[in-house]
Amino acid sequence: MARAEQLDKFKDECGVVAVHGNAEASTLAYLGLHALQHRGQESAGIVSSDDQRLHVHKAMGLVADIFTEEVLARLPGKLAIGHTRYSTTGDSALLNAQPIMVDCNKGLIALAHNGNLVNAHLIRHKLEQAGSIFQTTSDTEVVVHLIAQSKEQTLPEAIADALRRIDGAFSLVLMTRDRVFAVRDPRGFRPLSMGRIPVSAQEREHGRQDTIVFASETCAFDLIGATFERDVKAGEMVVVGPEGVSSRYYAPKMPQSNCIFEHVYFSRPDSTVFGRPVVASREALGRQLAREAPVDADIVVPVPDSGVTAAMGYSAESGIPFRFGLIRNHYVGRTFIEPEQAVRDFGVKLKLNPVRSLLEGKRVILIDDSIVRGTTSKKIVRMVRNAGAKEVHFRTSCPPTISPCFYGVDTPSKKQLIAANKTVEEIRQYTGADSLAYLSLEGMKRACGEEETPNYCTACYTGKYPTQWIDVEEIQPAAVHHE
């Protein structure tokens, strides 16, 4: 058996949902997680409340495989929160699957987290020295301990007190027996949106309330029939309870650091993230790339799926025809029986296959959203060339990635990032492309609407981090080596 090779991409951190005031809360949470599956394919969980007890189900695997009708029937109540995960901190194991549920001196609490706390190790060490016992290796559990140990008397105050002690990226949904909380960190690293499923006038007369929902991306609202209302603001805590919706700011205003990679790669093109349609950013990235790095060619071919919208923009701007010259197999599992006679680039061939009739004899521009380690890019260039392409020109719709992310993205260390160790020309030689070009930092920011809202975090491209808590060893200059 051989493990299916992961395409050389940053991993999509996590996705969270929350539902308040619906008899089918757990089903709506499940559907919301299904729409957010691209943000994490490792484990998923839902906690529901029937006003008396919290009910939980967590498992490894994909959302549709975990939550059968029988499982959802065991998650009753009108409140639910859910989480789909790719590990950013903590081992990949069911133990670290979320939501995390605890019964503490503040009552029953369930919590799900998208992001990464950069000072979690320091806080955890202090808490353990003071006698706290941790059940998981996830940084999210630190928040639960801080809430439980807060001297504040009410739960909203205890949550606010805990959040002021942590630093980094966090979009959180929390739940008690009768309330849902939605929170974003003061810098607004990760997205979190609020939506509403309105009741009819007749239902309202009978005292029924609208269903309030929260999700990491607005695409989750479309599937459950909710309308987007607004983003949860940076530093804001929204509380939904029997008395309705209330809001407060738990921290002073800080410079904004929205993750620009949400627009480059993570978020689905049909989502609106940080107030901007993702599809508009992706197409603009491609158009800007065509202006900055033109080349004479016959066809523009995306590396699917993430390169598709940028490739459409590049094609529209350059006038060079767009073609699906690589076809992606969406039904790839984790392991495969590899033939005894080794197949070169087997892992990539499982996921991508060239269309020889489109590529043969053509000068091809390959468009991808990023080059991380360079290993997959090299294999794709070789695959396209072997399919008969006359020339292969590689274009990337973001700048060279030179630094790891500490804000909820599973990035390799600096020594594994090819752009931290090689020049653009050396990367071109490594991949075997006839030419290679990245989008400029200014071009990327312009394409993502930086002029309208100058608030993006671009630390993975610049090495300039917006928080002081970072792993110093990770950001030391990587030793340059040549192959």
Catalytic, 14? Answer yes
Centre a 10 Å sphere on the Cβ of residue 349 and count the other Cβ atoms it contains.
Answer: 15
- C-alpha 61/C-alpha 84 separation (Å) is 9
**Strand order across the 43-49 sheet:** 54-60, 43-49, 79-85, 14-20, 211-215, 193-197, 227-231
- Cis preceding-peptide flag for 305 (omega within 30 of 0): yes
Kindly write down the DSSP assignment for every residue of 131-152, as one continuous string: T---S-S-THHHHHHHHHH---
- Cis preceding-peptide flag for 191 (omega within 30 of 0): no
- Name the one residue in this structure whose structure tokens are 């919706």: 245
Kindly write down the DSSP assignment for every residue of 365-398, as one continuous string: EEEES--SSSHHHHHHHHHHHHTT-SEEEEEESS
254 Cα distance to chain centroid: 22
Handedness of CA 22, 26, 28, 33 (dihedral sign): positive
Structure tokens at 109: 């609490």
**Environment class of residue 11 by beta-carbon count within 10 Å: exposed (0-12), middle (13-18) or buried (19+)?**
middle
Say if strands 456-457 and 258-259 run parallel, antiparallel, or are unpaired. Answer: parallel
Q: Which of 136, 150, 91, 82 is nearest to 111 (CA)?
A: 82
Residue type, 191: P
Q: Which of 51, 136, 70, 50 is nearest to 98 (CA)?
A: 136
Q: Which residues are catalytically annotated?
A: 14
